[in-house]
């Protein structure tokens, strides 16, 4: 993807001015305690609004938006412990993200994955102290595709798509050492209000009570403008100190025939988040069609896990 190649070639050349002290301190500190990895939203009242972008499809505007995207990423870097901010170079920033890779990043490839169980309540989830990373998103956001893409096995997401399992918490053990947790999708158009309420209580119970939860990957569909339900979800997680990473899906859809392109949608989403959060959570661009972001996301997950495991 042009955007990513261009982004990668930029020199980060960070100075303390680009990352205010309060930001880096907060990020480093909160990394130590995964429960505080994410900042608390400043306000949530504007979360439902979606900002518009003035970019168009002409190359001049696209170039400007590329450099704006890179500048924005540099101003809100996610800096893990063990990284000297003054010495940062572009090599340590994952392409298509604001994520700095530090010394805790390690073995990230998935060799083995097994379905363990489906749970109806947080207290029914597997009882061991292995770390877990949960995957959450609106129905149709591309959650099953992303899970398949990460583990490179079709059966995994198929399990969670089986009737009766879509509304459950599904645990998959990876390399016998950590879990991927597939959470029920939200925003089903055809689900009754009562069912939606149940979903909330049930999933919220998981977030608030699961001690081994390292991070939530909150999936955001980059092919559509910011959605109120996603922003509400992000704000709720932030308010409750649940660590999250935004994973933008469907970033291959660069040639949208109608509506805005993914880079414009992503920018609009990030601007709203920036207004609502004291510290911008990590984000990464992915596509399960083109393979974009897979290795980078796995690496990011490895550093979150390894630090948590300390
Ligand atoms: P889920 O309901 O969140 O599990 O979503 P799915 O994984 O079933 O995907 C929903 C739809 O989006 C399907 O038609 C997928 O083929 C499509 N989709 C998922 N990921 C991508 C992607 O990265 N790029 C594109 N172009 N389409 C995708």
Please report the atom of ligand 1 found closest to the CA of residue 157.
4
3 state DSSP class of 139: coil
Average pLDDT, the chain: 76
> Is the CB–ligand 1 distance for residue 138 below 6 Å?
no
pLDDT category of residue 96 using cuts at 50, 70 and 90: very high
Structure tokens at 4: 């990513």
> Is the CB–ligand 1 distance for residue 62 below 6 Å?
no
The pLDDT of residue 90 is 79
Please report the atom of ligand 1 found closest to the CA of residue 161.
4
The pLDDT of residue 248 is 98
The pLDDT of residue 1 is 37
Count the Cβ atoms, other than its own, within 10 Å of residue 190. Answer: 6
Compute the distance between CA of residue 243 and CA of residue 165 in angstroms, rounded to an integer.
Answer: 25
Dihedral sign for Cα 152, 156, 162, 165, please. Answer: negative
Q: What is the mean pLDDT of residues 174-200?
A: 75
The pLDDT of residue 194 is 56
Highest mean pLDDT among 6-15, 27-36, 161-170: 161-170
Please give the sequence-ordered ranges of beta strands (E in DSSP) within the chain, or none if there are none. 113-119, 132-137, 169-174, 178-182, 213-221, 244-249, 283-285
> Is the CB–ligand 1 distance for residue 97 below 6 Å?
no
> Is the CB–ligand 1 distance for residue 250 below 6 Å?
yes
pLDDT category of residue 146 using cuts at 50, 70 and 90: very high
Pairing of strands 132-137, 178-182: parallel
Q: What is the mean pLDDT of residues 256-273?
A: 85
Q: How many angstroms does the Cα of residue 289 sit away from the middle of ligand 1?
A: 9
Q: How many angstroms does the Cα of residue 181 sit away from the middle of ligand 1?
A: 18
The pLDDT of residue 13 is 28
Mutate to test the pocket of ligand 1, among 1, 137, 139, 145 (most ligand atoms within 8 A of CB): 145
Task: Yes or no: say if 269 and 284 are a contact pair by the CB < 8 Å rule.
Answer: no
Structure tokens at 200: 């909330």
Compute the distance between CA of residue 156 and CA of residue 230 in angstroms, rounded to an integer.
Answer: 24
pLDDT category of residue 233 using cuts at 50, 70 and 90: very high
Q: How many angstroms does the Cα of residue 144 sit away from the middle of ligand 1?
A: 7
Is the pLDDT assigned to residue 170 strictly greater than 90? yes
- pLDDT tens profile 184-194: 888 755 555 65
3 state DSSP class of 173: strand
The pLDDT of residue 21 is 24
The C-alpha angle with vertex 63 and arms to 57 and 67, in degrees rounded to 5, equals: 130
Pairing of strands 169-174, 113-119: antiparallel
The pLDDT of residue 98 is 93
Residue 55, Cβ density class (10 Å: 0-12 exposed, 13-18 middle, ≥19 buried): middle
Pairing of strands 283-285, 178-182: unpaired
Q: Which residues contact 106 (CB under 8 A, 6 or more apart)?
A: 302, 303, 306
pLDDT category of residue 214 using cuts at 50, 70 and 90: very high
- pLDDT tens profile 120-133: 888 899 998 999 99
3 state DSSP class of 135: strand
Place of tokens 């583990």: 151
Mutate to test the pocket of ligand 1, among 1, 134, 137, 142 (most ligand atoms within 8 A of CB): 142
Between residues 97 and 159, the one the model is more confident about: 97
> Is the CB–ligand 1 distance for residue 256 below 6 Å?
no
What backbone torsions phi and psi does residue 129 show, to the nearest 5 degrees? -100, 25
**What are 5's strand-pairing partners?**
none
Is the pLDDT assigned to residue 94 strictly greater than 60? yes
Q: How many angstroms does the Cα of residue 145 sit away from the middle of ligand 1?
A: 6
The C-alpha angle with vertex 206 and arms to 204 and 210, in degrees rounded to 5, equals: 135
> Is the CB–ligand 1 distance for residue 287 below 6 Å?
yes
Q: How many angstroms does the Cα of residue 308 sit away from the middle of ligand 1?
A: 30
Place of tokens 């495991």: 309
DSSP string, 145-160: HHHHHHHT-HHHHHHH
The pLDDT of residue 75 is 79
**What are 245's strand-pairing partners?**
217
> Is the CB–ligand 1 distance for residue 144 below 6 Å?
yes
In 3D space, the residue among 45, 28, 156, 159 whose CA is nearest the CA of residue 104 turns out to be 28
> Is the CB–ligand 1 distance for residue 140 below 6 Å?
yes
> Is the CB–ligand 1 distance for residue 294 below 6 Å?
no
**What are 174's strand-pairing partners?**
113, 178
Q: What is the mean pLDDT of residues 34-44?
A: 35
Is the pLDDT assigned to residue 149 strictly greater than 80? yes
Q: What is the mean pLDDT of residues 285-290?
A: 96
The pLDDT of residue 52 is 35
Q: How many angstroms does the Cα of residue 11 sit away from the middle of ligand 1?
A: 34
> Is the CB–ligand 1 distance for residue 252 below 6 Å?
yes
> Is the CB–ligand 1 distance for residue 160 below 6 Å?
no
The pLDDT of residue 3 is 34
């Amino acid at each position: 993807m042009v955007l990513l190649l261009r982004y990668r070639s930029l020199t980060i050349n960070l100075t303390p001015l680009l990352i205010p002290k309060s930001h880096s301190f907060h990020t480093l500190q909160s990394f130590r305690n995964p429960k505080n990895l994410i900042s608390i939203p400043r306000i949530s009242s504007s979360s439902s609004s979606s900002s518009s972008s003035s970019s168009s499809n002409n190359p001049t505007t696209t170039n400007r938006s590329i450099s704006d995207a890179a500048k924005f990423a540099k101003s809100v870097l996610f800096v893990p412990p063990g990284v000297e901010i003054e010495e940062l170079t572009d090599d340590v920033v994952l392409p298509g993200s604001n994520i700095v890779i530090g010394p805790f990043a390690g073995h990230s490839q998935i060799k083995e994955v097994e379905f363990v169980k489906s749970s109806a309540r947080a207290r029914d989830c597997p009882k061991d102290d292995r770390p877990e990373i949960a995957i959450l998103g609106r129905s149709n956001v591309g959650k099953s595709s992303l899970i398949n893409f990460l583990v490179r096995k079709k059966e995994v997401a198929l399990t969670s798509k089986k009737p009766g399992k879509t509304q459950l918490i599904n645990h998959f053990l990876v390399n016998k050492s950590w879990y991927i947790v597939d959470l029920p999708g939200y925003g089903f158009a055809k689900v009754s209000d009562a069912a939606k309420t149940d979903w909330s209580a049930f999933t919220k119970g998981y977030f608030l009570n699961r001690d081994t939860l390292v991070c939530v990957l909150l999936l955001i569909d980059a092919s559509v403008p910011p959605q109120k339900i996603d922003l509400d979800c992000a704000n709720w997680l932030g308010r409750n100190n649940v660590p999250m990473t935004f994973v933008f899906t469907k970033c291959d859809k660069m040639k949208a025939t109608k509506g805005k392109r993914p880079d414009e949608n992503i920018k609009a989403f990030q601007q709203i988040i920036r207004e609502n959060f004291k510290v911008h959570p990590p984000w990464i661009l992915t596509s399960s069609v083109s393979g974009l972001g897979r290795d980078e996301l796995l690496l990011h997950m490895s550093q979150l896990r390894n630090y948590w495991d300390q």
